[in-house]
Amino acid sequence: MELLRKIMAALLVTLLLTRDYTLMVNEVVFHRNAAWWSPWLYKTGLLTVADIIIISITAFTLICIVMRMSIPRSAYLKICGLTFAYLIIGFIYNISVYTLWKTYLYDFKVFLCLTVPYLFLHNSLGSNVLKMFSIKLIFFYVIIAGTIDLLVSWVYFVYSLGISIPYPQFLGFPIVVPLILPAHVAMVGVLFADKMKYKIIFLFLALFNVISAINTLSFGYLSIIPMYIPFLFVLFSRISLPAKAGFIFAIIVIANLTLVTLITNPLKLNILDQKSDGAITRIIQLDNALLNSKENIPGLIGKGWGSTWFEYIPIPENDVYSVGTSVAAEQEEAMALPVKFIFNWMPPALMHKWGILGMILLSFFVTNFYEILVKKIRKLKRLGLCKRSRRYLYAISIIAFFYVMSDFMWSTSLTGSVFSSILAFCVEREIDTYAKKSYAYRN
């Protein structure tokens, strides 16, 4: 059993070391076998290699749970439970409104990516396989994944095949370095680093990532960053859990309303004009989401995970990447179907999938996840844990909140979902490890 556990752990690391998206999106979005370097994108029949890995780890984890006859209790798994409830709503949508199991199975796979790694690691407590998973290591794995994709894109596609990387270079410099740390993670590093040299390094990484996103006109990434700043003020506050969750929900609503306002470029900014065609598609998607909210399952509740949306207002035919092949095997068939699955930005995705009730509940459960971590840290303070260690624990708890909120709210990456699941476990384990040391020291 332990040998099999080690194999599953190695496969899980493999998922972290690769990406389910690539710089060469033009080459692989319709021809997945072109991405031979990524198990997430390379297909063997109907399934990708990553699908087989996820199914294998899921089966092994379920066997472990059945053998122990117990499911761990944690605030993180409550978030997963809420997501499962919305998968049930999506199932009802598929059998009563419009049936398209391909899209439902995709969101079910996202759910597995968010849930199974946490359960697998929790059921591996006491095993040596946990040495393969620490906060520093999993970030290192992600950096390697980005580097592999960058090298393959430049060496194989650009230099060998002469195919250009399909991203704009608004500021004029090429895409040469993968994102080392997301800007919101680096921002937490600036706040909590105990030495000025580390603060400067984190500040450089944050600015570099923002500049790189501007260069590639990654507005989705840029639009999310400002939301994390007010999140910090709320997380730092000493208010009750319901009030804190209410503020988190309010920030999400305000951020999305701001995005809806800015999509029309009211200030006539040149940088936004660079993607005016994409803005048209996104406005149409929002209009469709509003129209869909008035039909069948009400928008107050949300249509659930795995639900499609009816295309009452047609998407421009030239914007094939907004549809992809998510609802059909071929591009033409996908464009012709009366329903679509992809939303290219956050406001319509949240409105359609989660609804108002779902977002309120999600805000509460994710905030509760963070608050439980913080209560443990405050208890460690009373036990005499030094300030430097407490700052570190606060920092990783905030980072975990950011990742968990982002991936459950609007998951656009399977690898990101796996990472968030593992990060949630690692942060909980790190705090528990400090607690055991503090109790042992006092006794």
Which residues 6+ apart lie within 8 Å of 285 measured at CB?
Answer: 315, 322, 343, 344, 345, 348
pLDDT at 220 exceeding the cut of 60: yes
Give the per-residue pLDDT at 37: 81
Give the per-residue pLDDT at 289: 95
pLDDT at 405 exceeding the cut of 80: yes
- Token pair in block for residue 222: 């840029």
Listed residue (28, 18, 24, 23) closest to 324, CA to CA: 28
pTM for the structure as a whole? 0.93
DSSP bridge pairs for 309: 340
Give the per-residue pLDDT at 377: 94
DSSP state of 330: S
* Residue 358: CB atoms within 10 Å: 24
pLDDT at 229 exceeding the cut of 80: yes
Q: Write down the H helix ranges in 172-320.
A: 183-192, 196-215, 219-236, 241-262, 270-273, 276-292
pLDDT-derived band at 246 (thresholds 50, 70, 90) equals very high
pLDDT-derived band at 28 (thresholds 50, 70, 90) equals low
DSSP state of 437: H
More confident residue, 72 or 254: 254
pLDDT at 87 exceeding the cut of 70: yes
Lowest mean pLDDT, pick from 32-36, 91-95, 194-198, 286-290: 32-36
- What percent of the chain clears pLDDT 70, i.e. is strictly above it? 90
Give the per-residue pLDDT at 301: 95
Taken as a whole, the chain contains a residue count of 443
Instruction: Convert the pLDDT of each residue in 59-75 to its tens digit.
Output: 999 999 988 777 788 99
- Token pair in block for residue 296: 């069948």
How far does the chain reach from its first CA to its final CA, in angstroms?
Answer: 35
Give the per-residue pLDDT at 178: 56
Contact assessment for residue 315 and residue 281, using Cβ atoms and an 8 Å cutoff: yes
Give the distance, in angstroms, between the CA of residue 321 and the centroid of all CA atoms in the same chain.
20
Instruction: Convert the pLDDT of each residue in 165-189 to its tens digit.
Output: 777 777 777 776 556 678 888 999 9
